[in-house]
Amino acid sequence: MEAKRDVILKMVTHNEKDHLSGDVGDEADVASQTFERELLFEMEDSERIILDDIEAALRKIEKGDFGLCESCRKSISVQRLKAMPWARYCIACQSRSETSA
């Protein structure tokens, strides 16, 4: 998880540096750059959410709560944790929250 966190931090930092460069070119170039920036902002938001979840999972490891669903407090399946080690909820609770949203 720490390696994944480091990769995301590098990507976000790199993208933020790219945002600081000014727009250059004609109207089509500016429109294209604006669109690309909007996509990067959306990606950064999802990356930051994952980064927050990874940080929370690392804190859970320190506290001894890793692998417990934040909703029902039951164990999260090993398969789910292997696929997404920062998972906050078991599959049942995650499904319930997605269907109610």
Cα gap 25→22, rounded to integer Å: 10
Same domain? For 78 and 51 the reply is no
How many domains does the chain contain in total? 2
pTM for this structure?
Answer: 0.58
At 43-85, the pLDDT tens digits run 677 888 888 888 899 999 999 999 999 999 999 999 999 999 9
Position 30 confidence tier, pLDDT thresholds 50, 70, 90: low
Same domain? For 41 and 2 the reply is yes
pLDDT surpasses 70 at 12? no
Q: Which amino acid is at 26?
A: D
